[in-house]
Structure 1
Amino acid sequence: METYKLKFLAVLLITTLMGCGNSQQNSDKNSKMGAASDSTSTEASGSIKQKITPCLWVDKDAKAVANYYLSIFKDGKLKEYHKYKNPPQEKGQEGQDSFETAVMEIGDIEFSILAAGPYFKFNESVSFVINCKDQAEVDYYWDALTANGGEEGSCGWCKDKYGLSWQVVPVEYFDLINSDDPKVREKAMKNTFTQKKILLSELK
C-alpha cells in the first residue's frame, strides 16, 4: 500500500509539473507574440487559455486512447504525447516500469490522458454531455461511442469502450423539457424515461 501511495504521488507530481511547464511555455509564447504585435487579446497578455482541463486516467496506451476519441470527434487533434520511466522503487505490485501522458483537443477543449496502470475506473458520477444539433448527429455519436465494446444506457446516457460515460443530447430536447406548455414538458419528460438513445420524434 505504501509503495502504491508513493507511485501515485510521483505520477501526480510529474503530471502537475508538466501542466505548469506547458502553461509557462504558452505564457512565454504569448508574451513574445504580444511584444511583436499591437493585439490586445487575452492570449497575447499571457493568460491561460483553459483554466480547467479534464484528466482521464486509463490503464495503458495514452496515444491509442487519444486516437480513439479523435476518430469519433473529427474536429479534434493530438497536441502532445510523452512516455516516462518509473523509478525502480515506484514500479509497484503491477511491475509497471513506465507511464504515458497525452493531450488532445476536442471541440476547443483540451483533455489530458494519463495512462498509469489499472488503479482507477470510470463511473457515472462524471459524464460529458454532447450537445447535438439534430437527430442525425445524435445517431452518429451514439453509434460511434457504443460500438466495439461500448454500452447503451438509459435516457440518452451511454458508455464508450473505456467505460467513460457520455450524455448524447439534441439541443432541442432542452426546449421541450423546459417548454412553457406543461403538456409538452410532461410528454417529453415521460417519454425520456422509456428511451435509451434520445429520439426527438417520440418526445414531441
Structure 2
Amino acid sequence: MSQKIVPNLWFTRNADEAGGFYSEVLPKTSSTVSARYPDEVPDWQSEFAGETLVVDLDVDGYRIALINADEGFRPNPSISFMLNFDPLAFDDDADAARRALDETWEGLSSQGRVLMELGEYPFSRRYGWVEDRFGVSWQLILTDPEGEPRPFVIPQLMFAGPVQGKAQEAAEYYVSLFDDARLGFIAEYPAPTGPAAAGDVMFGEFHLAGQPFAMMDSAVEQDVTFGYGVSLEVRCADQAEIDRLWEALSAVPEAEQCGWLADRYGVSWQIVPANMGELMERPGAYDTMMRQKKIVIADY
C-alpha cells in the first residue's frame, strides 16, 4: 500500500545537508532529491532558482519529505517522530536493538538538544527524546518484543498551550475524515499532571488511511505548539477528495497557500493530488501553484 500521508519538514537552505545527515544516522535510511525549483522563479525566490526543492527520505520504507526553503519556519517538538527499536527486527536480539538505538541517539543528539534523557522509564527499558541540529524531534524507544509489532516510524502530535487537552478530540475528528481510520489504544492521566487534567491523553494511538499516528496532551508547560515547520501532506485521488478535505480541515484563511492549510488545532496540512509531481512538470506549473490556495487540478 502506498503512503497516502507524508510528513513534510521545513529546512532553511540545508535540506541536502539534512538528507545526508539522516542517511548516516538513521537505520535503513536513504535520501533522494525528488524536485527542484524551476530556473525562473519570482524575484523573492531568486536564490533558489534551479536548486533543490524537495529531498525525499526513505526511513525503513517510511517516506518523509524535506522542503528546502528560507528561514520562514522551523520544526519544533509539537510533532515528533517515534523510532521503535523492536528486538524482533534484530533477530530477536534485545542487545542488538539497544545498540542500534544508542548509536542512533548518539548521531541525532550531536549538536542537538536533549528533551528527555536517554535511560530507563516505567514504560520502557530504554527511551529518550531529542531535538536534532535541524530542530526535528525524535523519540527513541526500545519496544517490548512480547507486545504488538510496531512500524519503525510513527509521527506523534503533542497538544499543548492553546490546544492543551484536545488530543482525543482532534484524533476523533481526523478519524472521521479519512478512510481506513480508527482510534487505537489510549492511556489517560489518572490525576492532574502539570497542565494536563485527569482524563487527558497521556499516550494514545490512531490510524489514518491505514497509517499509525500517536498523540498526547503535554504534562509540562510548553512554549511551542503546532506550526508550519512540520506539515502533513495528503495525496488525494482526485479533485473531489481535495475539495472535501480542504473544506473539512481549513480553519485559518490567511494560512491557505499552494495547497497548504492550518486546521482548527493549528496542525498544518498540504492537500495535494497524488500526481502532483507529474503536474509540476507541465509548462507554467510552478507559477500556477504559487497563485493557488486550494489546488485545482484543471488549472494545470
Return the TM-score normalized by structure 2: 0.47
Deviations 1:162-189 (A, max 9, x none): 11111111023210213xxxxx2x3111
Once residues 29 and 193 of structure 1 are traced to their aligned partners in structure 2, the CA distance between those partners, rounded to angstroms, is 47
- The verdict on how the C-alpha distance between 1:122 and 1:167 changes in structure 2, with shifts beyond 3 A counting, is same
* Aligned pair partner of 2:181 in 50, 71, 76: 76
| 1:1-204 aligned within 5 A | 9=116, 23-24=143-144, 27-28=145-146, 48-58=149-159, 59-85=164-190, 91=194, 94=195, 96-98=196-198, 99-100=200-201, 101-116=203-218, 119=222, 120-146=224-250, 149-151=251-253, 152-178=255-281, 184=282, 186-203=283-300
What's the % identity of the aligned pairs? 26
Work out whether residues 66 and 104 of structure 1, in 8 Å CA contact, stay in contact via their aligned partners in 2.
yes
Contact 1:150 1:162 in 2 (8 A): no
Equivalent-residue separation in structure 2 for 1:86 and 1:52 (angstroms): 30
Q: Structure 2: which 5+ residue stretches go unaligned?
A: 1-114, 128-139
Structure 1: how far apart are the matches of 2:122 and 2:293?
40
Deviation at 1:85, TM superposition (A): 3.6
What is the CA–CA distance in structure 1 between the aligned matches of 2:197 and 2:265, rounded to whole Å?
22
2-side partners of 1:74 and 1:138: how far apart? 14
Q: Name the Cα RMSD after superposition.
A: 3.0
SS in 1 for 2:277: helix
Distance 1:122 1:197 in 2: 21
CA deviation after TM superposition for structure 1 residue 20, in Å: 5.7
Please give the TM-score of this superposition, normalised by the length of structure 1: 0.68
Structure ranking higher in helix proportion:
1
1:50-85 Cα shifts (integer Å, max 9, x gaps): 101111011114321210111111321111111124
Quote the offset at 1:202 in angstroms: 1.0
- Measure, in 2, the Cα distance between the counterparts of 1:97 and 1:172: 43
Q: Which moved more, 1:60-69 or 1:111-120?
A: 111-120
The one-letter amino acid paired with 1:142 is W
**Following the alignment from structure 2 to structure 1, what is the Cα–Cα distance between the partners of residues 235 and 168?**
26
AA aligned opposite 1:110: P
Change beyond 3 A, Cα 1:15–1:196: farther
Give the 3 Å change call, closer, same or farther, for CA 109–16 of structure 1 in structure 2. Answer: farther
Q: How many residues align?
A: 162
Q: Which amino acid aligns with 2:249?
A: L
Amino acid at match of 2:260: W
More strand by share: 2
Structure 2 distance, partners of 1:115, 1:15, is 17
Structure 1 residue runs of 5 or longer lacking an equivalent are 1-7, 31-47, 179-183
Q: Is the 8 A contact 2:158 2:167 kept in 1?
A: no
What letter corresponds to residue 212 of structure 2 in structure 1?
E
